[in-house]
Amino acid sequence: MCGICSAIGGENKIFEVLNGLKKLEYRGYDSSGIAYFDNGKIKVIKSIGEIKNLEKEIDNSLYSNNVIGHTRWATHGKVSFENAHPHLSQDKRYALVHNGIVENFETLREKLLSDIDFLSQTDTEVLVNLIAKQQGSTLQKLISACSLVEGSFALCLQHEKEQKIYLAKRKSPLMVAKNEHGCMASSDMSVFAGRFETCYIMNDNEFAVMDNKNILFFDKNGKKIEKNAIFIKNCDFCEENNSEKYFMLKEIKEQSLVIKRTFFKYFVENVFLQFDDLKKYKSFHFIACGTAFHSALLGARFIQKFCHKKCEVSVASEFRYDDNVLSKKCLYVFVSQSGETADTIACAEIVANRGFDTMAVTNVPYCSLNNLTKFVLPTFAGKEVAVASTKAYTAQVFTLLILALKISGHNYSQILKNFSNTFEIEKPDENVVNFVSGFKKIFFIGRQQDYVTSLEGALKLKEIAYVNCLGMAGGELKHGTLALVDGQTLVIALSTQFSLKEKMESNIQEVKARGGKILLLSQFEPMVDVDMFVPLAKFEEFLMPIVGIVPLQFLAFAYATKLGLNPDKPRNLAKSVTVE
């Protein structure tokens, strides 16, 4: 993971990089740091924790026109000052920030760098010393060091005697932009918004050199290459204004708008013109991680329900090591908010390299996943900042529903339009929040589509409130987990399918009989005794996964904030998981 940002030019770049890092903080917030030119020397400032801590270390009068910066999500080496980036070569002439993993760093360290006294446990310090050890110009050294590396990197490199910043990219995102004030590199495009009109997206195994005015691009043999600039749209994707205390709250509340926007994009603007091309596929295989895996589970259900086509769903980190039997008649669908998740990308590469058809369902324009796939079905959640995915999930679910309906030829546009016009975000009552936050042992249960909502509801509560909870199929409870149910247990039950209402009520009875407490979320009045009831708005059954998840997002948010936790930045996590 990690975010990198660097800037060079005729004016002070310290605060440009600092502001860039703030926008990249979603990529990790274990530590951060900058390296900058100061009177012919490279100086470094680092800090543990959020960027605001780094900001406190930086004097308002600090000036430098050559700065590289980093915000870290720890992989190699614990969270510590020593392990924070930037890292310097032993001779102090080179400074490096790095997003990615040098998988063979131990071999490199032992075989090629045995004379170096390392100050940190990071693979990045190995890399910067490896670069310093190579022969030739700085660019040649960089290219040569990268050829020895197994793994992924997006990196920015300074040499103390050159008014330049060197860049390299493999499997981690990196883009660059220039204007009359200088050049900038960043892990994502939002950093450029408002300052640059165009930017260049670097491809794997490309290198670049930025100076005060220009950016030159090179291939892995050091041969100059030309690249086309793309326009940075003044899009809501870069929008980060937040009047709420937390982004997560803003993003939960935005979901009705996201549904409206998605309907407009697919039914009025007709942004995707290839639905007919997708009808030929006999089956669909969805691959994703985390929350995107949950929306993929629903996507598969929608395709099966409306198109009667066989579907499979795989967790990306498993799929990539499976002995997969792939089929020409199958479309492989990769669902990812960021489009940068390493496991999902690895799977897309495996499938695409073997010549099978692929589709990305992504929320970030120009992300790496989109480059790999035959089709791109965009979601329109807008930029999601909070680590816990909320509006990106509902955007994925609604988009996958539209996909299924468009492929099936069913004319549900009026129903979807009505939903997009009337779906409102409702917060559960304070007494429900108080009730739930009194429990430390919580199970979420549901059947079929509600089982998926249970999984997603439990994930939200785990990741932001650190509650040890579990989402599961209602019918599975009695096969083991019921043994854990006692008077201190809360079971949050979802029931949005009329045909399964009585089955869910039986599951509720099983819990009540063991002294467990029940919170039921349903659009149907309960016929059994429950401790707390959250009525859901009534829409067609296939829309209820969107309706049902919203109160669970609110409950997780409220639980976390009651504990004094920052729901936007849960411990140990980062928004975009660009390492395996």
Is 440 marked active-site? no
Instruction: Pick the closest to residue 118 from 89, 141, 92, 94 (CA basis).
Output: 89
CA distance 166 to 158: 6
Q: Does 51 bind ligand AGP (CB under 6 A)?
A: no
* Residue placing its CB nearer to ligand AGP in the complex, 182 or 551: 551
* Residue placing its CB nearer to ligand AGP in the complex, 86 or 471: 471
Which listed residue (102, 108, 292, 298) binds ligand AGP by CB under 6 A? 292
Q: Which residues contact 350 (CB under 8 A, 6 or more apart)?
A: 319, 320, 324
- State the DSSP H helix or E strand holding residue 417, giving kind and residue range, or none if neither: helix 413-422
In the bound complex, what is the minimum distance in angstroms from residue 340's beta carbon to ligand AGP? 7
Strand 230-231 and strand 283-288: the pairing is: unpaired
Spatial contact of 335 and 316, defined as CB atoms under 8 Å apart: no
- Residues near ligand AGP (CB under 6 A), total: 15
In the bound complex, what is the minimum distance in angstroms from residue 466's beta carbon to ligand AGP? 14
Beta strands in 381-508 (DSSP E): 441-446, 469-473, 489-495
Q: Does 298 bind ligand AGP (CB under 6 A)?
A: no
Given the rule CB under 6 A, which of 38-46, 258-266, 274-282, 284-292 is the region that contacts ligand AGP? 284-292
In the bound complex, what is the minimum distance in angstroms from residue 245's beta carbon to ligand AGP? 19
Interactions with ligand AGP, residue window 443-472 (CB under 6 A): 463
Which listed residue (158, 337, 489, 496) binds ligand AGP by CB under 6 A? 337
Given the rule CB under 6 A, which of 12-20, 275-283, 336-344, 522-530 is the region that contacts ligand AGP? 336-344
Alpha-carbon separation of residue 24 from 71, 232, 360, 385 (angstroms) = 7, 17, 23, 9
CA distance 472 to 450: 9
Q: Does 368 bind ligand AGP (CB under 6 A)?
A: no
CA distance 100 to 3: 10
Spatial contact of 523 and 449, defined as CB atoms under 8 Å apart: no
* Residue placing its CB nearer to ligand AGP in the complex, 22 or 462: 462
Q: Does 338 bind ligand AGP (CB under 6 A)?
A: yes
Q: Does 577 bind ligand AGP (CB under 6 A)?
A: yes
Q: Does 255 bind ligand AGP (CB under 6 A)?
A: no
* Residue placing its CB nearer to ligand AGP in the complex, 118 or 466: 466
* Residue placing its CB nearer to ligand AGP in the complex, 341 or 370: 341
CA angle, 338 then 344 then 345, to 5°: 85
Q: Does 99 bind ligand AGP (CB under 6 A)?
A: no
Given the rule CB under 6 A, which of 21-29, 41-49, 289-297, 436-444 is the region that contacts ligand AGP? 289-297
Interhelix angle 255-263/391-408, rounded to 10 degrees, is: 30
Provide the CB-side half-sphere exposure for 572 (13 A, CA).
5
In the bound complex, what is the minimum distance in angstroms from residue 408's beta carbon to ligand AGP? 25
Is 575 marked active-site? yes
Q: Dihedrals φ, ψ of 330, to 5°?
A: -105, 145
In the bound complex, what is the minimum distance in angstroms from residue 333's beta carbon to ligand AGP? 13
| Nearest-CB residue for ligand AGP | 290
- State the DSSP H helix or E strand holding residue 376, giving kind and residue range, or none if neither: strand 375-378
Q: Does 341 bind ligand AGP (CB under 6 A)?
A: yes
Given the rule CB under 6 A, which of 158-166, 261-269, 288-296, 554-562 is the region that contacts ligand AGP? 288-296
* Residue placing its CB nearer to ligand AGP in the complex, 202 or 288: 288
Q: Does 523 bind ligand AGP (CB under 6 A)?
A: no
Interactions with ligand AGP, residue window 371-430 (CB under 6 A): 387-389
CA distance 99 to 452: 33
CA distance 556 to 562: 10
Instruction: Pick the closest to residue 79 from 111, 46, 106, 55 (CA basis).
Output: 46
Interface residues toward ligand AGP, by CB under 6 A: 289-292, 336-338, 341, 344, 387-389, 463, 576-577
Residues tagged active-site: 2, 575
